[in-house]
Amino acid sequence: MNEVLLEVDTIHTFIGQFHILEGVSLKVRAGSITALLGRNGAGKTTTLRSIMGLNPPRSGSIRLGGEAINGRPAYEIAYLGVGYVPEHRAIFRDLTVEENLRLAERKRGDLARRSDFIMSLFPDLKRFYRHPGGKLSGGQQQMLAIARALVPDNRLLLIDEPSEGLAPIIVEQIVAALRQMATETTILLVEQNFALAAQLADEYYILDDGRSVQHGRMADLTRDHATIDKYLGAG
Amino acid sequence: MIELIQRRRGLIAGIIAIILFGMWASTQYEPRVLASILLSGLTLGALYFLVTSGLSLIFGLMDVLNFAHGTLFMIGAYIGFTLYANPRLLLNTLPFGLALVAGWILARWLPANSLPSGHRRPLWVAAVLVGLFAIWNFELAPLATTALSSGGRVPTEQAQAPTPIFIARALGLAVAGVIAGAAFLAGREHTRRPERRDLIVPIILLALALLIAPLRLTLEEWLLSLDSNTRFLLALLIGAGGGAALGGLMEWSLIRPLYSRPIYQVLVTLGLVFVGTELVKGVWGPGGYFMELPAWFSQRGPNCPSPNLIAWLQDNCASIDVLGRPFPSYRIFIIALGILMFVGIAVLLRYTRLGMIIRAGVQDGEMVQALGINVRRVFTLVFALGAGLAALGGVAAAPFLGISPGLGQEFQLQAFIAVVIGGMGSFTGAAIGSLLVGLARAFGDQIVLTGIQLPWMSEAMTFSPSIARASTVLIMALVLLLRPAGLFGKKE
């Protein structure tokens, strides 16, 4: 087994007055894809945002490669090598594809160095390189959002619902890209589509009502229909 | 085609309205009158633009409605004027500020972990006491009032403290700065360890402060011996720089802690209007000043007004002939300044990394942060930039409108109207909105002056002077009816 890259230990996160995460713990091993599963509102997105520093947890600890990162501002966490692909893509609509990618550079030359790899994963982006992000289709915007996280050397990618609302053929392309990416980095993936998550992930964590309730190897979960029914609805 | 017309109906209606208005105006006024109304409108528009551009950038990026933007405009005018007419006031106060900031930065070299957060309050109190002790009995009034009576041209030595005392005060303030910085850092984790090269900035600041102190008189004489054009350019530069520094300080100290509480932010900026106005009255007095035009724009003689711009470059007449009517050359300069700043900011937004961050941040600041960009620092920078633009506008307006503590209010109001017309947060919108408001004011003034001659009436219809001011509100109402988000605003 590989070493643990990310360790989240009983974090509690509030949004305004609402206690959203009530003790989430998880470990992500370097070089793996870990899926974060659970119903709508279970706290999956908030977990990613807590790790990223966008909704800092009020208690508990988050360690990246052994170093505590909870309480640090988001931009510092990003600098430690965490890439974030949010739900609903959040690309910059008024910026061109090129500018979107350039903005993600952490040092000069990042984009030039990684451009070939990114364009081989998502050839569409090359075609629309100088078009504003807002003019892209939903699938292309998702590709751009993922590509943005690939520009710098990230140790960990937090990817939220990459398949949401996309046509099956686009989803296939994105799955292939995620597989390719997993060979060189570590991914923590939130995915509603269980079949897709099962296909990609090595390990899983299930969140229910703000708590992490179960985890294990993905291969075991696919046979465990009781758990799937209990926590993931009609999965 | 029909779909295009439907989609762009606001734009088309606007163009038609402008064409109709232009046709009406060209029958109403002779070309030379029309030309000078248009130029007056452009002048006002350029000044409004300097205020609205910053206002709009700040609102777009950080959702802060800065009510104090007009106050920064006014303070810019005072700083610029002071450099132009009475640099003594600046030379005798600037070293204190520099020393204080230098001390604040130097506090980072104190061993941070030796300062638990419990020490914070006593440290603040100590800093304030040391600071007060350092400037105890410092007389500001004589430094400022000499300007009122003599235009600041007589270097009276008795207005200035002896150099050793002055340096002692500056050092005292540096110590106060160190203590305040320590209070600020006490109990804070995650502060970056300073490196040796970080020492450069505070050392330069301190050196400047200590250097200015003995050279105050010489510097003052030197500044006043410069020709009025150079002093004017320096005034623009220092006014804008001073405004930018104040704006940055304001964001960092008062706005930043309140990003999660927008209502308080509005109240703070509103309060700053009063504080700023009273401070200015306290230092410079409640009365107004008039800043002379620099030599470039004030020559009179047999060949004036200059027949055209090229000739003006040689004879520097106070006015330029426009279709047979003299028009003040300084107003042409204001128009040029407005255009220059428009192009400058457009280039900044379009082609620089900072501009890219601003454009992205306007849409989604959180995501910019998640990409590893310290958005807070960009906020401070943009706030300073916007404040600097407003202050630049203030200095530019000073020779043309005069300087008084109330200068900012009128601009604040009109600038808000212009921003709303153009669409909150849109830079192009700010430019177009300012232009519309400026032109409306100019036409409004003309209508008040001469009335409107309607074909079926024997006498011209006259209006009360308030119509000029009301006209801009009228335009705003019309625009909002057609496009609730403003001309270039995006619907959320």
Measured between beta carbons, the chain B residues lying within 8 angstroms of A160 are none
Contacts of A54 in chain B (CB under 8 A): 366, 369-370
Q: Tell me, what DSSP letter sits at residue B266?
A: H
CB contact under 8 A, B360 and A95: yes
d(CA A44, CA A208) in angstroms, rounded, equals 9
* Interatomic CA distance for residues A92 and A103, integer angstroms: 10
**Residue B66 CB neighbours (<10 A):** 29
Tell me what the mean pLDDT of segment B408-424 comes to: 89
Q: Which residue has the higher pLDDT, B51 or B198?
A: B51
Q: How far is CA B481 from CA A187, B13, B441, B474, B484, in A?
A: 49, 12, 21, 11, 6
What pLDDT was estimated at residue B19?
A: 86
Q: Does A84 touch chain B (CB under 8 A)?
A: yes
A76 and A2 together in one domain: yes
Task: For residue A51, give the CATH number of its domain.
Answer: 3.40.50.300
CA B457 vs CA A229, B243, B451, B462: distances in Å:
85, 51, 12, 12
Q: Which residues pair with A6 in a beta bridge?
A: A28, A64
Residue of A nearest to B371 (CA): A104
What's the pLDDT score for residue A212? 87
C-alpha distance from B54 to closest chain A C-alpha (Å): 20
Q: Establish if A97 touches chain B: CB-CB under 8 angstroms.
A: no
Within 13 A of B374's CA, how many CA atoms are on the CB side? 7
Task: Return the percentage of chain A with pLDDT > 90, whole number.
Answer: 40
CA B455 to the chain's CA centroid: 45
Tens digit of each residue's pLDDT (9 = 90 or more) over B13-38: 778 888 888 888 887 788 888 888 89
Name, in order, each residue with C-beta under 8 angstroms of B173's C-beta and a sequence gap of 6 or more: B96, B99, B100, B103, B131, B134, B135
Record the tokens describing residue B192, joined without a space: 């970056």
**φ, ψ for residue A49 (rounded to 5)?**
-65, -30
Local confidence band at B149 (pLDDT 50, 70, 90 cut-offs): very low
Nearest CA in chain B to A86: B367
**Distance (Å, whole) CA B371 – CA A76:** 9
Q: Give the residue among B92, B416, B72 at the shortest CA–CA distance from B277.
A: B72
Which tokens sit at A23?
Answer: 């003790």
How much is the pLDDT for B492? Answer: 47
Distances (CA, A) of B82 to B374, B395, B397: 36, 10, 14
Q: Assess A73–B contact: CB distance below 8 Å, yes or no.
A: yes
Do residues A105 and A212 both lie within one domain? Answer: no
Q: What is the pLDDT of residue B113?
A: 62
CB B186 within 8 A of CB B117: yes
| Average pLDDT over every residue of B138-164 | 63
Class of residue B193 by CB neighbours under 10 A (exposed 0-12, middle 13-18, buried 19+): exposed
Q: Domain boundary residue among A120, A153, A186? A: A153
Q: Is A189 on the interface with B (CB under 8 A)?
A: no
Gap between the Cα atoms of B150 and B225, Å rounded: 15
What pLDDT does A164 receive? 86
Residue B357 pLDDT more than 60? yes
Local confidence band at B239 (pLDDT 50, 70, 90 cut-offs): very high
B491 falls within a domain: no
pLDDT at B144 over 80: no
Where does residue A29 rank: exposed (0-12), middle (13-18), buried (19+ CB within 10 A)?
Answer: middle
Is A93 near chain B, with CB under 8 Å?
A: yes
Residue type, A66: G
Distance CA B352, CA B313 (A): 33
pLDDT tens by residue, B246-304? 999 999 999 999 988 889 999 999 999 999 999 999 888 888 888 888 888 888 878 77
How far apart (Å, rounded) are the C-alpha atoms in residues B375 and A103? 12
A235 within 8 A of A66, measured Cβ to Cβ: no
Residue A125 is part of which domain span? 89-153
Q: Quick check: B364 and A92 CB within 8 A?
A: yes
Sign of the alpha-carbon dihedral angle for A13, A16, A18, A20: negative
Instruction: Give the chain B residue whose CA is nearest to the CA of A101.
Output: B371
The label of the residue with tokens 């908030």 reads: A46
Distance CA B218, CA B220 (A): 5
**Do A48 and A219 form a contact (C-beta atoms < 8 A)?**
no
Neighbours of B297 (CB within 10 A): 24
CB contact under 8 A, A95 and B357: no
Q: In angstroms, rounded to a whole number, what is the distance separating the alpha carbons of residues B325 and B411?
A: 28
pLDDT band at B446 (very low <50, low <70, confident <90, very high): confident
Angle between helix B375-401 and helix B228-250 axes, rounded to 10 deg: 140
The candidate with the shortest Cα–Cα distance to B241, out of B102, B429, B98, is B98
Q: Report the alpha-carbon distance of residue B66 to residue B323 in Å, rounded.
A: 41
Residue A230 contacts residue A60 (beta carbons within 8 Å) = no
Residues A163-168, mean pLDDT to the nearest whole number: 88
Contact A157, A83 (CB under 8 A): yes
For A105-145, the pLDDT digits (tens) are 988 888 888 899 999 989 888 999 999 999 998 889 999 99
Report if residue B3 sits inside a domain: no
- Coil vs helix vs strand at B449: helix
Q: Is B441 exposed, middle or buried (0-12, 13-18, 19+ CB in 10 A)?
A: buried
Query: Would you say B96 and B169 are in contact if contact means Cβ atoms under 8 Å apart?
Result: yes
Tokens of B91: 């030379």
**Range of the structural domain that residue B392 is part of:** 26-304+306-482
Q: Are residues A112 and A186 in the same domain?
A: no
Q: Is A52 on the interface with B (CB under 8 A)?
A: yes
Q: Would you state the pLDDT for residue B455? A: 72
Given this model, what pLDDT does residue B189 score? 65
Q: How many structural domains does chain B have?
A: 1
pLDDT band at B424 (very low <50, low <70, confident <90, very high): confident
* Whether B368 and A103 lie within 8 Å, measured CB to CB: yes
Contact between chains at B356 and A99 (C-beta distance less than 8 A): yes
The domain total for chain A is 2
Q: Nearest C-alpha of chain B: how many angstroms from A223? A: 37
With 80 as the cut, is the pLDDT of residue A2 above it? no
For A136, how many CA atoms within 13 A lie in the half-sphere containing its CB? 30
Residues A171 and A140 in one domain: no
Cα separation of B114 and B135, whole Å? 29
What element of type H or E holds A207?
strand A203-208
- Mean of per-residue pLDDT scores for chain B: 86
Nearest CA in chain B to A75: B372
- The sheet with strand A203-208 has its strands ordered as A82-85, A156-160, A186-190, A33-37, A203-208, A211-217
Q: A220-224, B79-83, B202-206: lowest mean pLDDT where?
A: A220-224
Within-domain flag for B21: no
B489 within a domain of the structure (yes/no) = no
Are A69 and A176 part of one and the same domain? yes
Q: Do B373 and A72 touch (CB under 8 A)?
A: no
Do A129 and A178 lie in a common domain?
no
Residue A3: pLDDT above 50? yes
Smallest Cβ–Cβ distance between A93 and the set B363, B373, B374 belongs to: B363
Under 8 Å between Cβ of B364 and A103: no
Same domain, A159 and A235: yes
In 10 A of CB A172, how many CB atoms? 13
- Model pLDDT, residue B269: 93
User: Does residue B13 form part of some domain?
Assistant: no
The whole-angstrom separation of Cα B383 and Cα B224 is 32
CA distance A190 to A196: 11
Q: Which residue has the tokens 């008084």?
A: B404
- Tell whether the model's pLDDT for residue B11 goes beyond 80: no
Last residue of a domain, one of A127, A153, A179: A153
Q: In this structure, are A161 and A234 located in the same domain? A: yes
A197 and A168 in a common domain: yes
pLDDT in tens, B321-352: 888 888 888 999 999 999 999 999 999 999 99
Q: Are both A166 and A50 inside the same structural domain?
A: yes
Beta strands, E only, B43-149: none
Best B190, B357, B367 member to test A by mutation, with max A CBs in 10 Å, is B367
The residue among A110, A137, A153 that closes a domain is A153
What would the pLDDT profile of A43-84 be if each residue is shown by its tens digit? 899 999 999 999 999 999 999 988 889 888 999 999 999 999
Residues A130 and A104 in one domain: yes
- Ramachandran bin of B426, using left for φ above 0, alpha for ψ from -120 to 50, beta for the remaining angles: beta
Q: The complex's ipTM? A: 0.90
In total, the C-beta contacts within 8 angstroms joining chain A to chain B are 64
Over residues B219-228, the pLDDT tens digits come to 888 888 888 8
Q: Which two tokens stand for residue B242?
A: 């001073």
Q: How confident is the model at residue B152 (pLDDT cuts 50, 70, 90)?
A: very low
Pick the closest to residue B357 from B372, B343, B342 (CA basis): B372
Closest CA to B379 of B60, B79, B114, B123: B60
Mean pLDDT, chain A, rounded, equals 89
3-class DSSP state for residue B95? helix
